[in-house]
Amino acid sequence: MTRVGFLLKVKEEYIDEYKIHHKNVWSEMKNALSRNGWKNYSLFMRPDGLLFGYFEADKSLADSIKRMDSEKVNTDWQELMSPYFEIPEGSAPDQAMIELEEVFHLD
């Protein structure tokens, strides 16, 4: 198991809408994440839209994203969420995650 932390930036004008979507994440998306090894997944956001994500992966962030690539529901979710993020036009949010190095962990 690998602990993964990442950053993304939600556009400030879409923060409230983004939060609503995440109170109602599709059950098919939750199932796909679980099926593909995204465990203990959490998202945290500052008031300016800077988003910190954390999950426990079977192998790595790259492997977890690759596994989700085969899920149609993930393609649909990424397409829905893409306009909410400060990422290059046409990019998928899961391809724009900035992975953080773990420097400390207390069990």
Q: pLDDT tens-digit profile of 13-50?
A: 999 999 999 999 999 999 999 999 999 999 999 999 99
In the chain, domain spans? 2-100
Which pLDDT band holds residue 89 (cuts at 50, 70, 90)? confident
What is the value of pTM for the model shown? 0.92
- Residue percentage of the chain with pLDDT more than 90: 94
SS3 readout for the chain: CEEEEEEEEECHHHHHHHHHHHHCCCHHHHHHHHHCCCEEEEEEECCCCEEEEEEEECCCHHHHHHHHCCCHHHHHHHHHHHHHECCCCCCCHHHCCEEECCCCCCC
Domain 2-100 has CATH 3.30.70.100: yes
Which pLDDT band holds residue 90 (cuts at 50, 70, 90)? confident
